[in-house]
Amino acid sequence: MPTANDALSSWGGPPDLSAWEALMWRAEGDQRTRSAGVVIEFLDAEPDWERMVLAHRRLTRRIPRLRERVVEPLVPLVSPAWSEDPDFDLEYHLQHVRAPRTGALDELYELAATFAARPLDPSRPPWEAVLVGGLAHGRAAYLLKLHHSLCDGLGMLQLLNLTHGHGPQPQEFDSTSMPTPRRRESPTGLLVNRLSMQLVTAPGELLRRSADAVGRLVADPIGTTTGAMRFGNSLRRVLTPPEAGRSPVLRDGGTGYRILTHTVPLDALKAAGKSAAGSVNDAFLAALLGAVRRYHEHVGVVVEHIPMAIPVSLRTDHDPLGGNRFAGARFSAPVGEPDPRVRIRKIHGVIAEARAEPAIGFLDLIAPILSRLPGPVLTEIAGDMTGGSDLQASNMGGIDRTLYLAGTRVSHVYPIGPRPGVAAMVTMVSYEGTCCVGVNLDPDAISDITAFARCLREGFDEVLALAD
């Protein structure tokens, strides 16, 4: 059974980026396709700074991936790889600032939006953290920014669980078991080593795959052919954009960031979903669409459907901690449905169909080709792929215990997802019986932030009323 030390040292997965991770890493040339997200943790008090630094120093040694940077091959014929940063400087990655002016919530969110929008340094490990002291009522906040190539939403929750304490006392680790340092890579060495490996293994791998394919065809010719046709039909559906046209309100945006947060009781949201034969995720999406409908009504526009995207986890129990195992699903979202119960049922059906598509993970098949394209071409393709929706949303899951950071209790955890060419990215994490909803808005598309915040509250209140 894996130990806590094993989990820490293995978080992040293998040394080579997957094709999907390489695609996200290499598409950083445009604000539309940047994929760094931020977690905002609220703390009951401001923790001791020296203890914070010591904890981060110890954990970055225990989790090698946090001290590793991405090394690109000399020519992009193979995937990039993680390699120890010989100049790792914790003082660069971890900073301590005071809250601006009065320490009010909106001032913190302005700071967090600026922090989220600032590109990560590609020559360093792709994460940064800031402790913000001096908030109102003696509280503090911890902002953690991670590039998507490090992990998906579930991988991020794994990281929070591994790096946060279980109480006010310092975490204890087995000092005799330190991770083995990984081999350092260079652009030239990476290219030569990976190409040599591919030349050695390619013939055997090709023969094995050919034999497997022939064996399946001989054993079940009808089933094999039918399965291929089913996948082809599914791929056509997955690649076809949703029938819904873009919203005239949400489609013409910019690259700015505005942050909103909202909290709702987890049990009530579950009960609301169950009342309409749906899940907590269906209720979350129904509340969000209700908010979007209200905002359109506020600006005098009526829409029935909008194109929307959600991530679908492909993780299994055998996948390593960290890394990325997800696919994207696009669908026509029923914004115009006024009845929240009917809206939940419609969403439940649409999401079930999207998850069941055999070709939902098709990007895993073409990512090796896409990730090798020149940067400008790749950025343009990635921008077109992510920019076809008006809205993205993600229910990342839950944290099943109370978190402590440098001995200080974490009261709320708000995920702020990247906003790849959409008007809003809305993300939810459940923590201590509360659903923490983080919203990353485009202020050019959603210009009346105050009105949208009101619509968001009303959208959730409408759905939560079903729990009664």
What would the DSSP string read from start to end of 17-59?
A: PPHHHHHHHHTTTSGGG--EEEEEEEESSPPPHHHHHHHHHHH
Q: What is the DSSP track for 49-112?
A: HHHHHHHHHHHHHHSGGGGEEEE--SSTTS--EEEE-TT--HHHHEEEEEPSTT--HHHHHHHH
Sequence-distant (6+) residues with CB within 8 A of 143 are 38, 39, 40, 41, 111, 112, 115, 129, 130, 132
Looking at the predicted structure, is the pLDDT value of residue 1 above 60? no
Phi, psi of 339 (to 5 degrees): -85, 115
Number of other residues whose CB lies within 10 A of the CB of residue 382: 24
pLDDT in the model for residue 78:
80
Half-sphere exposure of 216 (CA within 13 A, CB side): 11
Q: With contact defined as beta carbons under 8 Å apart, do 429 and 396 qualify?
A: yes
Sequence-distant (6+) residues with CB within 8 A of 462 are 287, 290, 340
Within 109-224, strands assigned E span: 127-133, 140-147
SS3 459: helix
- Beta pairing class for 434-441 and 127-133: unpaired
pLDDT, one tens digit per residue, over 132-186 is 999 999 999 999 999 999 999 999 999 999 999 999 988 776 655 667 777 788 7
pLDDT in the model for residue 44:
97
For the chain, what is the radius of gyration of the CA atoms? 23
pLDDT in the model for residue 226:
57
pLDDT bin (cut points 50, 70, 90) of residue 205 is very low
pLDDT in the model for residue 139:
96
pLDDT bin (cut points 50, 70, 90) of residue 224 is very low
pLDDT in the model for residue 462:
97
pLDDT in the model for residue 142:
98
- Rounded to whole angstroms, the Cα distance separating 327 from 156 reads 16
pLDDT in the model for residue 376:
67
| CA 291, 292, 293, 298 torsion-angle sign | positive
pLDDT, one tens digit per residue, over 10-27 is 899 899 998 888 888 888
Q: What is the DSSP letter of 178?
A: -
- Run of H or E including 416: strand 408-416
Q: What is the mean pLDDT of the segment spanning 438-463?
A: 96
- Rounded to whole angstroms, the Cα distance separating 397 from 38 reads 16
pLDDT, one tens digit per residue, over 47-78 is 999 999 999 999 999 999 999 999 998 877 78
Looking at the predicted structure, is the pLDDT value of residue 342 above 60? yes
Looking at the predicted structure, is the pLDDT value of residue 94 above 90? yes
Looking at the predicted structure, is the pLDDT value of residue 98 above 70? yes
Q: Which of 194-208, 223-237, 387-401 has the highest mean pLDDT?
A: 387-401
- Run of H or E including 427: strand 424-431
Looking at the predicted structure, is the pLDDT value of residue 391 above 90? yes
Q: Categorise residue 433: left if φ over 0, alpha if ψ from -120 to 50, beta otherwise.
A: left
Q: Which CATH superfamily is domain 1-174+184-468 in?
A: Nonribosomal peptide synthetase, condensation domain (3.30.559.30)
The number of angstroms, rounded, from the C-alpha of 156 to the middle of its chain's C-alpha atoms is 8
pLDDT in the model for residue 215:
47
pLDDT in the model for residue 2:
53
- Mean pLDDT is lowest, of 137-141, 290-294, 382-386, 463-467, for 382-386
Catalytic residue among 56, 148, 164, 412: 148
pLDDT bin (cut points 50, 70, 90) of residue 369 is low
pLDDT, one tens digit per residue, over 103-141 is 899 999 999 999 999 999 999 999 999 999 999 999 999
pLDDT in the model for residue 76:
76
Q: Is 296 tagged catalytic?
A: no
Residue percentage of the chain with pLDDT more than 70: 81
Bridge partners, residue 428, by sequence: 395, 437
**Count of H-run helices and E-run strands, the chain:** 14, 14
pLDDT in the model for residue 61:
92
Looking at the predicted structure, is the pLDDT value of residue 243 above 80? no
348 or 199, which is more confident? 348
pLDDT in the model for residue 211:
45
Q: Categorise residue 325: left if φ over 0, alpha if ψ from -120 to 50, beta otherwise.
A: beta
pLDDT in the model for residue 392:
95
Looking at the predicted structure, is the pLDDT value of residue 203 above 50? no
In 118-186, alpha helices (H) = 153-163
pLDDT in the model for residue 23:
83
- Mean pLDDT is lowest, of 182-196, 320-334, 437-451, for 182-196
Residue whose structure tokens are 């902002």: 143
Looking at the predicted structure, is the pLDDT value of residue 204 above 50? no
Residue percentage of the chain with pLDDT more than 90: 58
Q: What is the mean pLDDT of the segment spanning 225-253?
A: 70
Give the strand order in the sheet containing 258-265. 258-265, 434-441, 424-431, 391-399, 306-313, 326-333
SS (H, E, C) 248-302: CCCCCCCCCCEEEEEEEEHHHHHHHHHHCCCCHHHHHHHHHHHHHHHHHHHCCCC
pLDDT in the model for residue 253:
73
Q: What is the mean pLDDT of the segment spanning 67-96?
A: 92
Q: What is the mean pLDDT of the chain?
A: 86
Q: What is the DSSP track for 208-229?
A: HHHHHHHHHHHH-HHHHHHHHH
pLDDT in the model for residue 397:
95
Q: What is the mean pLDDT of the segment spanning 375-384?
A: 64
Query: What is the reported pTM?
Result: 0.88
